[in-house]
A = this chain, B = another copy of it.
């Protein structure tokens, strides 16, 4: 996720649906293109979605001839924010970023379209810079969890593609590799869209980290064989009590980790917490197109007549989570009190 150019610039994304076979960039010049990129998972990962949406609002008031009156620029902005909110329902960073951009617009006196655009572009750049710093800080906070020779299991993709730079769940791994630790990462391939096989394995191998891709159903066996000592995943939304919505399959992994007495960590920025959700039951779960399952690879793999259940996320109860790694420090154990304490004092 990068903004190319200045006021007349555009949003450049890596089209994540094309990896690992092709590294293709997708340039978005309209709000509609950003909405589409989010909906079709060309850009995905909670922090990355937030960033894309922030820059999407900048595109909403890109320079016009003649310039818009301030009132209609602000109207356009509000409409774009409402529209972008409908792109995906679960990752809270989307709403967090849009709210923050909206507040920035509301708090400026800027009366021209150009001035308003400058304010918003600045704010989006701030979010981006904070995201970079956040990823590094998560990496540092999670680094003590790793040891030389370890096996680490992760699910879906919570790396640089899902955020900026180091990512979230992968940040401690990238940092550990830079500091010379040697370890093996088991990457769940993560059906139906294979973000683990396609994206996580791509990021890890590019950085020279020993990577083993497994089918999702092999995680239990890998744990039973003693191959992993740590499970770490990202998050799309964390409720006030620590219940965590993340890619479907995360919950099952947490149950398996508990059964094998393995530590199970979530890594996410503080913007992933949704204090308006008391617990996981309050988090809306996106249901996605059955064709992701039935025709995921171009060829039909499910007979006509069979139904499909394809939730994009599940919720892992806080009691199965050993700790949450945030840019403000490590929350462990996980409770409303420890969450408040770390996020407030951090």
Contact = CB atoms under 8 A, between A and B. Distances in A.
Interface of A: 19-21, 155, 186-192, 194, 197-198, 201-202, 204-205, 210-222, 224, 248-249, 251-253, 255-256, 258-259, 293-294, 296-311, 314
Central interface residue in A251, A252, A256, A294, by most chain B CB within 10 Å: A252
B212 A307 contact: yes
Nearest to A313: B221
Contact of A301 (B194, B293, B304): B194
Nearest to A308: B213
Contact of A21 (B201, B296, B299): B299
Contact of A192 (B211, B215, B253, B256): B215
Instruction: Decide if the interface of chain A is mainly helix, strand, loop or mixed.
Output: mixed
Contact of A302 (B155, B198, B221, B304): B198
A212 B309 contact: yes
A253 B255 CA distance: 11
A296 B297 CA distance: 9
Given A212-B309, A293-B213, A249 B218 contact: yes
A300 B300 CA distance: 17
A310 to B, nearest CB: 7
A307 B305 CA distance: 36
Given A191-B215, A215-B248, A252-B252, 9 more contacts: A20-B302, A21-B300, A189-B302, A190-B217, A191-B191, A212-B308, A213-B309, A215-B216, A221-B314
